[in-house]
Chain A
Amino acid sequence: MSAGPAPQPARDAGVHKEKSMVLQKDMLAEYFERVTTSPKAGRKVVYTFVPGNLTELIQSFDLVPVYPEINALQNAMRKRSDSFIAEAERAGHSEDVCTYVKCDVGMSIGGNIGPSGEPIPPPDLLLLSYTGCFVFMKWFENLRTMYRCPVVMLHVPYQGEGMVTPEMRDYVVRQIRTELIPALEKVSGRPYDEEKLRERLRLSARAEDGLVRALASAKHRPSPIDAYFGGVYYVGPIFTAFRGTQGCVDYYDCLNEEIDERIRARVGPVTPEGPLGEERYRLVVEGPPNWTHFREFWKLFYDQGAVVVASSYTKVGGLYDRGFRHDPDHPLETLADYCLGCYTNLSLPSRVELLTRYVREYEADGFLIHSVKSCNSFSAGQLLIMREVEQRSGLAGGFLESDLVDSRYFSAANLKNRLESYLQMIEQKRRGGAAA
């Protein structure tokens, strides 16, 4: 699981890039520079995961967050994940283990050289603020053994009843107050500064408004964005180290300007090969993308004029479009709500409800699941989700399978065959079934 910030392509030559993409690329380069120079500059490093991440709190202590999932997907886009996975498998991790984990473990074994080519410093603290994924716990247990550093794991209750109750919120707030803040104070050597946190949360909320506006633009026809393949770029800053910074707010302003321009010009999303031509299919997609063949996977869609107008993957770091904003007036409560509200912490009925709403609100022609073998948080229940969304929306569902960062699970011919068959099914229905 996790969202992808600015997946930086391995080869940039000949690829169409918008200003916001260049901006994001620079932000990411700066971030990795900050991470890799941390030991020299005396900054301490906290490893944490994307879902439910407490970036504002971490950075209010002047600590630097590092996201192992992001390193994994960035490495995959640079075609390095396979060798890291092989390394982890040699060290005894089975083929069934989540490939994000193996990619990270393999990277650590090989000197922890990060996506920027410089070594990522070892963690001073491991912070797990979403426990819905059991693999996350095991992942950090492994890293704790490797790095012998302190760990804080917040227990985050599952939204089994489809909502966050006051008791659930209080329970998480108590853990933040009594376990996490003292641990952060100890690692950073600084006291908790609530004003500083509030300021960051204020900036977070502004950026969140910007993201919501960008994603909602897909309601236009043609959609000016691809909310999945483009979407993973758009959520990059907000899901990770940039939330709570002015740079993040600026990024969304820049992005929205571009989108507004495309809406005015009535043009579709920008693909690596330039603006998309005719919008032929509007799809809602559930599940993370494949990173090892990200462009190839995207191309399968845009070659056929298929645009993703809404996706669940762009909600793993929060359901801002359903109203959540970081609230500077209730800093710890809002952080608790954020941990509790990430997409994979939703119950299956809530996920069905959300996806069905996307299908309706974004006037989709189809609903597609990309099921990855690595992530049970996502994949468990997906067939049931498909049936339910089909029934409620009246649209046919489609099912694709590959993996996050293990290229052995990406079968281009099979995916192409399935996607084409699926789109033809939509096309045939549109033509009035078999009659024409």
Chain B
Amino acid sequence: MSVYLGVDLGSTTTKAVILDRDEKILGRGITNTRSDYQVATAVAETEARINARFTILRRLLEAEGSGVEMLDALVSRFAVRAFLFRLARLRRLALAHAGSAGGPVTERLRLALQSIFERIEADVRLNPEAAARLKRSFFRDLVGVAWMSLAESEAAKFDLDFEDLMGVFDVVILKEENTVLDFDFAETILAGHDPVSGNGADPRVVREAVAAAAREPLEVLNLAGTGYGRQRLPFRKDQIRSEILCHGLGAHYFFPATRSVLDIGGQDTKAIQIGGDGIATNFQMNDRCAAGCGRYLGYIADELNLSLDELGPLALTATRRVQVSSTCTVFAGAELRERLELGERREDILAGLHRAIVLRAMSLLSRSGGVREEFTFTGGVARNPAVVAALRELVIENYGGVTLNIHPDSIYMGAVGAALFARRDLPMEGLEMEPTR
């Protein structure tokens, strides 16, 4: 099958989207690897390819009229095995790293690490809730949280410093997440036992569909790159599109009536006006200062010892809103601590912070021409429910009751736009050509 690849190299995450010839999304991949854009692209693309194979598998099963109900179980099984595969790889790296020091400390360190890995593995194998989390979170975050919660007791048990154990994690996780997954799709799903036991579907059909999905060559006919790192990759010049164009077209893809787009990314905010064809007609971006962007929320989360995903929901529990005027990323911590010292509650401060972010974005929106007709919110920050709530309130206040769209795939919007450009740059059906890489 010929496919088209879009890559969005953001400042926080790298996203890859694979489209088929009909411009249907086949697969999505995302990584928070930041050390190297080249690697990040490979990791995200690999994930998108795996995801694409599941889409193909679904199509095959739907055509067979059998086994579709098995898909969720297969996806989960795959996620667990992929996680365990990576955990084993991380374990080898960690033990090798610990072994390099020598002496009695090394032996205790090895034992502590073995224990940590065994407990993380057991949790994923035996606890359905832990397994369910695998699909939503990055490997680094999953292991990091578990590791930190185990490190204290393990350090005490083996007479080690907590910092020593965390230090190992910091070193080896970088190596692990910069390695592309190289396991076999079909084997990972099918190995070991019957994939459909106890589900009533024809095991032979499912096995064959999995094998067919795994065999399908996903030949990239064209690709396009966007995002902050777009200049750093060996994309040809005509394969590079600005984030403005990609987010605009991505929003148009999901919501064709969209005329205004707001994208809040890791380090910039963009207000984009688009025409009926999804092409940008005007835009405004924040200037040198990244105040009020995704990175700002990251600092706030660090300061409060929360994960990024917890910020928005916590802010929504506020009973009042603390007035926050500065969204300066550099002073985020100081501002927060001062409010806490004044006795304000965390959730009330967070409610104010989220509103301040949106107020800043509203200014860019009005500079770009305001909100017209349908309005789509894209970028990673669109996943934050408190930002969405504040945005909804302020858009209605300023522009009346317009339709506000937020797609679950909003973080992929730029990559979708890029993939669409890759597709549309080669408009001829059935064109025989060499893959671009």
Give residues in A with beta carbon < 8 Å to B. Answer: 383, 387, 390, 396-397, 399, 401, 409, 411, 414, 417-418, 420-422, 424-425, 428-429, 433-436
Contacts and interface: CB of A to CB of B under 8 A. Distances in A.
A308 to B, nearest CB: 20
A287 to B, nearest CB: 15
Given A434-B420, A435-B427, A436-B425, A401 B245 contact: no
Contacts of A424: 241-242, 244-245
B288 A434 contact: no
Contacts of A422: 283
A383 B277 contact: no
Given A411-B287, A425-B281, A435-B277, 5 more contacts: A390-B282, A421-B283, A421-B285, A424-B242, A434-B279
Contacts of B420: 434
A387 B367 CA distance: 10
B270 to A, nearest CB: 9
A215 to B, nearest CB: 28
A434 B242 CA distance: 14
Contacts of A434: 249, 252, 277-279, 420-421, 424
Nearest to B427: A436
A429 B281 CA distance: 9
Given A414-B287, A434-B277, A434-B420, A396 B245 contact: no
Contact of A421 (B245, B287, B421, B427): B245
B369 interface: yes
Contacts of B280: 396, 421, 425, 428
B385 interface: no
Contacts of B287: 401, 411, 414
Contacts of B421: 434
Contacts of A390: 282
A383 B285 CA distance: 14
A396 B284 CA distance: 12
A422 B420 CA distance: 19
A396 B427 CA distance: 26
Nearest to A304: B237
Nearest to A395: B281
Q: Is the interface of A mostly helix, strand, loop or mixed?
A: helix
B347 interface: no
A434 B253 CA distance: 11
B242 A421 contact: yes
B288 A414 contact: yes
Listed residue (A401, A417, A434) with the most chain B CB atoms within 10 angstroms of its CB = A434
A425 B285 contact: no
Interface of B: 241-245, 249, 252, 275, 277-285, 287-288, 367, 369, 420-421, 424-425, 427
A422 B248 CA distance: 13
A421 B243 contact: yes
Given A424-B242, A424-B245, A396 B285 contact: no
B256 to A, nearest CB: 11
Contact of A425 (B245, B252, B277, B288): B245
A193 to B, nearest CB: 52
Given A383-B367, A387-B369, A401-B287, A421 B282 contact: no
Nearest to B420: A434
Contact of B285 (A387, A414, A428, A435): A414
What 4 A-B pairs have minimum CB-CB distances, sorted nearest first? A421-B242, A433-B277, A411-B288, A421-B244
A52 B282 CA distance: 35
A212 B265 CA distance: 46
A425 B424 contact: no
A435 B244 contact: no
A435 B424 CA distance: 6
Contacts of A409: 288
Contacts of B282: 390, 396-397
Nearest to B249: A434
Nearest to A373: B287
A428 B245 contact: yes
Contacts of B275: 433
26 contacts: A387-B369, A390-B282, A396-B280, A396-B281, A399-B367, A401-B287, A411-B287, A414-B285, A414-B287, A414-B288, A417-B242, A417-B285, A421-B283, A424-B242, A424-B244, A424-B245, A425-B244, A425-B279, A425-B283, A428-B280, A433-B275, A433-B277, A433-B279, A434-B421, A435-B277, A436-B425
Contacts of A436: 424-425, 427
A407 to B, nearest CB: 12
Contacts of A414: 285, 287-288
A284 to B, nearest CB: 16
A20 to B, nearest CB: 34
A137 to B, nearest CB: 29
Contacts of B425: 436
A418 B279 contact: no
A409 B367 CA distance: 20
A435 B425 CA distance: 8
A401 B286 CA distance: 10
Among A411, A418, A435, the most chain B Cβ lie within 10 Å of the Cβ of A418
A378 B389 CA distance: 38
Contacts of A425: 242, 244-245, 279-281, 283
Contacts of B245: 421, 424-425, 428
Contacts of B367: 383, 399
A404 to B, nearest CB: 16
Contacts of A411: 287-288
Contact of B278 (A383, A399, A433): A433
B279 A428 contact: yes
Nearest to A410: B288
A386 to B, nearest CB: 8
Nearest to A371: B287
A119 to B, nearest CB: 36
